[in-house]
Structure 1
């Protein structure tokens, strides 16, 4: 499987101007690592049009404070030299990005269960995603009315943008999967499966979702409904991963 780990189907980040408050630079780097991680210092420097040395100074400080951590590289074939270090948000940093209403929300869910049983949480989860479904449908209609072609990739892009606006730090990353050529067909050629990974770098309800998996399950079902394709949730922040990752099939193509 070949991935484009830092490609985004959404907007590009604005360059950081000279003389920018270091605290603003720091906050924007944290936001970028949350949304695009695992990401290298080189990629961050290119994204914000600042020097690699400046980025590394910020990364060293953020790592020392426990806000970011080095991402473990998967074991695989290695070329010459050492692979570049890449970073993701540390688990403790997600707590600082959370809401002070977390405890109140947890108490509310517990009270809901006491009154309505386990099924009440599932019903709550379904009500939570209904506005998402309506919002994305409205965005798709608006795009189509403006003359844009809204194919499968565009739907994923619109969903990523919507979730980011809701605080989920979401990116859509294209993935190409090579498939064996169809047997018995003259001319051969390889087939490729175009897919995408929807990566949510932050989850405002992570702690509650860790205790009530229905929230993640219904969210996954809603993503499938909104995009009109079967999707697969590969990892979740609530389950201990550095991001919520959802595999989304797009179209199957053929190359010679």
Structure 2
């Protein structure tokens, strides 16, 4: 009887560990891809619809994911509109805990109170400069082809923890960050986002425009990169941090 109980406890513990690992894989996939349907998640992870639903329902209950209605230009058939799942701020925090956000925010408040917003901007630029230098070093052998540079930038950003990818779109380019390591701080101090945007502009070699940020409640940080005149293609850089 005692052995049977121990076996049952061991089986439950093993199942719990397995569930935790699967949930981590679901979360990592959402972090990388952004909004993704349950069917896409299940297919990627080799899970049945019932299995993937179990994990997503648990993550919904814990406020780790939320649902969004998928937009499509195609005529919608009968039935409910398709839903996609995205990580919430709590879900991102669960994957990448920001233990020092409180200290960083307090430090920036002190700088702002004692030296003004210009000092916060200067501090943000100095902090992002180191990242810019590392990314620039990775682009030295990329040449001048915009797609090659975008791919090199994506690879360098991935090494920095942004899980980046680069593609091409018709109207220009777009940089999408599915995770921001300073989102909690940048929510109060957008100078951090501004400094990062300036680095992206310098590395790409053209003016870019930040359209949305995780810090302000958007699902991803989105930066538009216009097609340069005379360039045959346009750049899209997606960074999933």
Residue correspondences, number? 212
Change (3 A) 1:173 1:55: farther
Residues 206-253 of structure 1 deviation map (CA, whole Å, 9 limit, x = unaligned): 121111111111211111111112212110011110111112234446
Query: What is the distance in 2 between the residues matched to 1:69 and 1:161?
Result: 29
Which among 145, 154, 161 is matched to residue 148 of structure 2? 154
| Runs of 4+ with deviation above 6 angstroms | none
1:8-157 superposed matches below 5 A: 21-74=18-71, 77-82=74-79, 83-96=81-94, 97-141=96-140, 143-144=141-142, 151-157=145-151
Q: Which moves more between the two structures, 95-104 or 227-236?
A: 95-104
Aligned residues of 2:69 and 2:82 also touching (Cα < 8 A): no
Query: What is the distance in 2 between the residues matched to 1:55 and 1:150?
Result: 44
Query: What is the distance in 1 between the residues matched to 2:22 and 2:153?
Result: 27
Query: What is the distance in 1 between the residues matched to 2:110 and 2:91?
Result: 28
Query: What is the distance in 1 between the residues matched to 2:151 and 2:121?
Result: 28
In structure 1, stretches of 5+ residues that fail to align are 1-19, 177-192
Measure how far apart 1:174 and its partner are.
Answer: 3.9
Match of 1:88, SS state, is strand
Measure how far apart 1:113 and its partner are.
Answer: 2.5
**TM-score, normalised via structure 1 length:** 0.72
Query: What is the distance in 1 between the residues matched to 2:166 and 2:86?
Result: 16
Residues 1:230 and 2:224 are matched in the alignment: no
In structure 2, stretches of 5+ residues that fail to align are 1-16, 234-241
* Aligned-residue CA RMSD (Å): 2.6
Query: What is the distance in 2 between the residues matched to 1:39 and 1:173?
Result: 18
Aligned residues of 1:70 and 1:88 also touching (Cα < 8 A): yes
